[in-house]
Amino acid sequence: MESEFIFALCNPGAENALKLEAESMALGWRLSYQRRGFVTFKADGPFTLEALDAPLACARRLCLSLGRAPTRDEALRRIEAAAVIHHARYFERKMQGLPCAACLRIGQLVGTVVELGPTEFWAGLHRHAPFLSPDPAGDSGVVMPLESPSRAWLKLEEAVRFFALPLTPADIVVELGCAPGGVVLALLQRGISSVGVDPAKMAEVVLASAIANRSDTPPDKPWFFHCRKPAALASKRDLGPGVSWFMSDMNQSPEVVLKECARFCKMAPGIRGVLITLKLTDLLQISDKARWIAALTDMGFPTIRLQQLSVHHKEFALLGMRSGDVRIAVRP
């Protein structure tokens, strides 16, 4: 299967960062056509499905392009070979995926129809693979519950779905920058306990599960321990035993967050995965991505993914895992 073009779906506004990222990876891809949330590339030779393995953080989905069509039916005709069809559209200033009930299997051929206007449809193909979103256009469509104190709830839920994160109630997560508690709430709802590090106040909805001392963990229900300090002052004693995941959502530069990540991984050697929200002042800082990935490699994480999620603005999710073991995460 070959095509002269590939297309990428991205967050509207991330097109320039996507082009810069492709350029900095020396992929040999050249811009061919661009709309908000949609960029096509060409290269010297034809693309195959393997070209879609390029780990582009700014692309929520990459497809072999089967071209532009004037109607949805015509676009669908071009991807008849696909086992599952996804529909996406640029609507209300977002690149949206339309809900799809089908559950994707690794290796399955997926067809995507992208609607950019009343007579502009694009057809594309890709194979589902580990660490690719199972959702059309990489848009989870997950709706945040009213009781969530922050949008960070969505960041956690979308990352779990996008990467199929193997988080279970046996895990204990330490989260730097945990206030007011959207991530902690999402974890509690998944039955997962956490130690949150943040000098700021937590919302009542998560304080209901708070324990006063790290040594007082209830055996039968998930708990939350608030270490009310800046990250740099948190110690091994604050963490306690059994921490298996590191997360950070601190409003700090990638350098500060990665430095703390390295320190926490030393304090808690049982950490098997890290999920960090990297907050940038400008998306073009994506040109620093090799440095962020090298920092996680130095910490001993062989499986690393950097990804902009649909819920992100000037942010990226940086994931590191000790093993490539990926399971389909169970939604609460």
Under rule CB under 6 A, residue 249 binds ligand SAM? yes
Under rule CB under 6 A, residue 182 binds ligand SAM? yes
CB under 6 A: which stretch of 12-20, 87-95, 109-117, 193-201 binds ligand SAM? Answer: 193-201
CB under 6 A: which stretch of 114-122, 129-137, 245-253, 300-308 binds ligand SAM? Answer: 245-253
Query: Smallest distance from the beta carbon of 152 to ligand SAM, in angstroms?
Result: 3
Torsions phi, psi for 48 (to 5 deg): -115, 175
CB under 6 A: which stretch of 58-66, 102-110, 179-187, 307-315 binds ligand SAM? Answer: 179-187
Under rule CB under 6 A, residue 63 binds ligand SAM? no
* Token code pair at residue 214: 């790290």
Q: Is the dihedral of CA 255, 308, 17, 57 positive or negative?
A: positive
Of residues 56, 142, 231, 286, which one binds ligand SAM by CB under 6 A?
231
Under rule CB under 6 A, residue 250 binds ligand SAM? yes
CB under 6 A: which stretch of 71-79, 88-96, 104-112, 197-205 binds ligand SAM? Answer: 197-205
| Contact string (CB under 6 A) for ligand SAM, positions 72-111, x = contact | ----------------------------------------
Kindly report the number of other CB atoms within 10 A of residue 74's CB atom: 14
Q: Rounded distance, CA 189 to CA 185, Å? A: 6
Query: Smallest distance from the beta carbon of 178 to ligand SAM, in angstroms?
Result: 5
C-alpha distance from residue 292 to each of 122, 173, 179 (Å):
34, 21, 24
Within 137-166, which residues bind ligand SAM (CB under 6 A)?
149-150, 152
Of residues 16, 230, 240, 322, which one binds ligand SAM by CB under 6 A?
230
Return the closest-CA partner of residue 91 out of 115, 69, 73.
Answer: 115
In the bound state with ligand SAM, the residue whose beta carbon lies nearer, of 200 and 284, is 200
Do 324 and 130 meet the contact criterion of CB atoms below 8 Å apart? yes
Under rule CB under 6 A, residue 254 binds ligand SAM? no
Under rule CB under 6 A, residue 181 binds ligand SAM? yes
CB under 6 A: which stretch of 22-30, 244-252, 301-309, 310-318 binds ligand SAM? Answer: 244-252
In the bound state with ligand SAM, the residue whose beta carbon lies nearer, of 104 and 311, is 311
Within 263-322, which residues bind ligand SAM (CB under 6 A)?
none
Of residues 17, 49, 173, 183, which one binds ligand SAM by CB under 6 A?
183
CB under 6 A: which stretch of 19-27, 119-127, 172-180, 286-294 binds ligand SAM? Answer: 172-180
Under rule CB under 6 A, residue 252 binds ligand SAM? yes
* 224-227 sheet: strands from edge to edge: 210-211, 224-227, 193-197, 172-176, 245-248, 273-279, 315-321, 303-307
Task: Please tell me the count of residues contacting ligand SAM according to CB under 6 A.
Answer: 21
In the bound state with ligand SAM, the residue whose beta carbon lies nearer, of 211 and 256, is 256
Q: Residues interacting with ligand SAM, by CB under 6 A?
A: 149-150, 152, 176-183, 197-200, 230-231, 249-252
